[in-house]
Amino acid sequence: MENKNTSYTLVLSGLSDLPSLQLPLFLVFLLVYLMTLTGNLLIVLLICTDSHLQTPMFFFLGTLACLDMSYSSVTTPQMLFDFNTQIRFISIQACITQIYFFVLFAMSEISLLAVMSYDRYVAICRPLHYTQIMHWKACVLLVLGVLIFSVLYPLLLLVSCSDTFINVLLILILAIFPGGGVFVLTFCPYIIILNTIMKMSKAMRSKAFSTCSSHLTVVFIFYGTALFSYFHPKAKDNSAVDRVAPVFYTVLTPLFNPLIYSLRNKKIKLSLKRALCRLKSSFTS
- Among 22-31, 84-93, 230-239, top mean pLDDT goes to 22-31
Q: Is residue 284 domain-resident?
A: no
- 119 lies in a domain? yes
Q: How far apart are CA 21 and CA 15, in angstroms?
A: 9
Range of the domain at 104: 10-270
Range name among 19-28, 138-147, 170-179, 273-282 with the lowest pLDDT average: 170-179
CA–CA distance, 244 with 63 (Å, rounded to integer): 28
Say which range, 67-71, 97-101, 106-110, 208-212, has the weakest mean pLDDT: 208-212
Q: What are phi and psi of 258, to 5 degrees?
A: -65, -30
pTM to 2 decimal places:
0.84
Q: Phi/psi of residue 2, each to 5°? A: -100, 125
Q: Does 1 reside within a domain?
A: no
In the predicted structure, residue 1 carries a pLDDT above the cut 50: no
Pairwise CA distance, residues 123 & 210, whole Å: 13
Q: Are 76 and 29 in contact (CB under 8 A)?
A: yes
Q: Which DSSP helix (H) or strand (E) runs through 46?
A: helix 22-49
pLDDT tens digits for 191-211?
999 888 888 888 788 878 877
The answer as to whether 117 is a domain residue is yes
275 within domain boundaries: no
Does residue 59 surpass a pLDDT of 90? yes
**What integer pLDDT is reported at residue 115 of this predicted model?**
94
pLDDT band at 243 (very low <50, low <70, confident <90, very high): low
Answer yes or no: is 152 within a domain: yes
The verdict on residue 5 lying in a domain is no
Q: What is the distance between the alpha carbons of residues 141 and 257, in angstroms, rounded to a whole number?
A: 24
Question: In the chain, pLDDT over 90 holds for what percent of residues?
Answer: 26
The predicted structure's pLDDT at residue 245? 66
282 part of a folded domain: no
Residues 97/135, Cβ–Cβ less than 8 Å: no
| pLDDT band, very low/low/confident/very high, at 285 (cuts 50, 70, 90) | low
Task: Supply the CATH number for residue 237's domain.
Answer: 1.20.1070.10
Q: At residue 94, does pLDDT exceed 70?
A: yes
Looking at the predicted structure, is the pLDDT value of residue 162 above 50? no
Confidence (pLDDT) at 160: 47
The pLDDT value given to residue 212: 85
Name the domain count of the chain.
1
